[in-house]
Amino acid sequence: MHNLLNNRKTEIRLGIVLLAMIVGLSLGSDSFFTLNNLTSLLNNNAINLIWAVGLLVVLIAGGIDISFAVASSVVQYLAVQVLRQIGGGDWVTGIVVCGVIGIALGLVNMFFIYRFRIVSIVVTIATYNAYFGLLMFFSKGRNIYNLPDWLTDRVVMFEYEAADGTWSELTLAVGAMVVCVVATWLLIQRTNLGRQLYAFGDNPEGARRAGVNVAAMQALAFGWMGLMAGIAGLMQANIVKEVVPNALIGREMDVLAAIVLGGARLGGGKGTVLGCVLGVMFVAVTQNGLNLLGVSPFAFKMIIGGAILVAISTSNIDFADLFRRRQEAAK
């Protein structure tokens, strides 16, 4: 038990802070701890969480990806073209098409990183620009409104109407998010492939010498990220019922920061699904809380940035150790 606590320090600390925030906001605001607010918190962050677990896999394998949010937009645009060609399709074809395009975009990153031995941050900054540039060029920046009917239909996983008439529901995106989170957990925690990803991110040379297939690991990490980007793209189109080329760009940094907050290491070999979810929810609850407390939306970015800085800079402080030192000094 002692070890479990030690190994999961970041997650436990973040969990406690998150819990404290939730308790505080529940007491400080009438509207925080309501079914309506909690469900919309999940609805609004499902996309971020899907991306986050994909990016987590890349970080564990020692890489980084900046291009995934833009990739989701590219997936949306291309998938709609493909679906129109095949006569509209349905959810199954939609998921397959988006998944395949997403994986292909991820493998483009992997190809340059692996084949030309370029650091992943450089490659994905390049593809981030290239993907977005191509998307804007071909779409001419125009939104697509006439999506297949099934895609714009509201799919509700859960709904509830309170006595006062407030409507609470969980969208399909939340369902997809849960599937992605569980699948990612299974992959990285419970399969030999996932453990090889950790090993490869931890010590690439050691993994290579042990016979780990380096190309396959890179392909798995970036392919998984691509698959998640594909699913996220599809779900986001379902939520907003249109494809807006520049709707998602800019959200990649928040996701990255949230994952690092959750204990993933920029350099590989470390990170958990639990920490990743807590990191995203920490940012989400902070923003939600500020909203409910009536803080100006213009201050959000500043406050969230500050909160992340405080959280990350205190995450290496061993509070037990500090306390001990203070005791010694007092003697």
Partner 1 sequence: MTDANTERFALRLKGISKTFGGLQALDDVDFEVRAGEVHCLAGENGSGKSTLIKIITGVYQPQKAELFELFGEAVRSISPTGARNRGVSVIWQDLALFSHMSVRENICFDDMVGLTPKGVHYGEMDRKARAVLERLGVPLELDIPLEALSIARRQIVAIARALMNDARLIFMDEPTASLSRSETDHLLDIVRKLSADGVAVVFVSHRLAEVLEIASRVTVLRDGRLVGVYDCADMTQVRLGELMTGQLIENKVVARDRVDAPKVMEVRGLSRAGEFENVSFDLHAGEVLGLIGLIGAGRTELAHVLMGMRAPTAGDMRVEGRPFRPSSIRDAIRQGLAYVSEDRLSLGLLQKQPIEDNTVISVLHKLLTRLPLLSMRKRDALVRSWVDKLGVKIGRPSDLISTLSGGNQQKIVLAKWLATEPKLLILDSPTVGVDIGARAGIFRIVRSLADSGLAILLISDEATEVMFNSDRILHMAEGQIVAEYDPRKMTVPELEERVYA
Residues at the interface with partner 1 (CB under 8 A): 3-4, 6-7, 189-196, 198-199, 202-203, 205-207, 209-213, 216, 265, 269-270
Q: Is residue 258 classed exposed, middle or buried when 0-12, 13-18 and 19+ CB atoms within 10 A define those classes?
A: buried
Pick between residue 93 and residue 203 the one whose CB is nearest to partner 1: 203
Residue 229 in contact with residue 71, Cβ under 8 Å?
yes
The amino acid at residue 120 is S
Residue 47 in contact with residue 173, Cβ under 8 Å?
yes
In terms of DSSP H, where are the helices of 29-90?
35-60, 68-85
- What's the closest the beta carbon of residue 201 comes to partner 1, in angstroms? 8
Pick between residue 4 and residue 330 the one whose CB is nearest to partner 1: 4
- What's the closest the beta carbon of residue 124 comes to partner 1, in angstroms? 23
What is the rounded CA–CA span in Å between residue 201 and residue 241? 38
- What's the closest the beta carbon of residue 192 comes to partner 1, in angstroms? 4
Pick between residue 140 and residue 209 the one whose CB is nearest to partner 1: 209
Distance from first CA to last CA of the chain, Å, rounded? Answer: 32
Pick between residue 190 and residue 241 the one whose CB is nearest to partner 1: 190
- What's the closest the beta carbon of residue 314 comes to partner 1, in angstroms? 21
Pick between residue 107 and residue 193 the one whose CB is nearest to partner 1: 193
Pick between residue 2 and residue 140 the one whose CB is nearest to partner 1: 2
Instruction: Give 156's strand partners.
Output: 171
Residue 51 in contact with residue 65, Cβ under 8 Å?
no
Residue 147 in contact with residue 20, Cβ under 8 Å?
no
Answer positive or negative: Cα dihedral of 21, 22, 28, 29: positive
DSSP 8-state class, residue 144: B
- What's the closest the beta carbon of residue 271 comes to partner 1, in angstroms? 9
SS3 288: helix
- What's the closest the beta carbon of residue 315 comes to partner 1, in angstroms? 15
Pick between residue 84 and residue 195 the one whose CB is nearest to partner 1: 195
Please count the other Cβ atoms lying within 10 Å of the Cβ belonging to residue 319: 9
Pick between residue 194 and residue 262 the one whose CB is nearest to partner 1: 194
Residue 197 in contact with residue 217, Cβ under 8 Å?
yes
- What's the closest the beta carbon of residue 13 comes to partner 1, in angstroms? 17
Side-chain-side CA neighbours of 166 within 13 Å: the count stands at 10
Q: Which residues contact 310 (CB under 8 A, 6 or more apart)?
A: none
- What's the closest the beta carbon of residue 95 comes to partner 1, in angstroms? 21
What is the rounded CA–CA span in Å between residue 176 and residue 39? 15
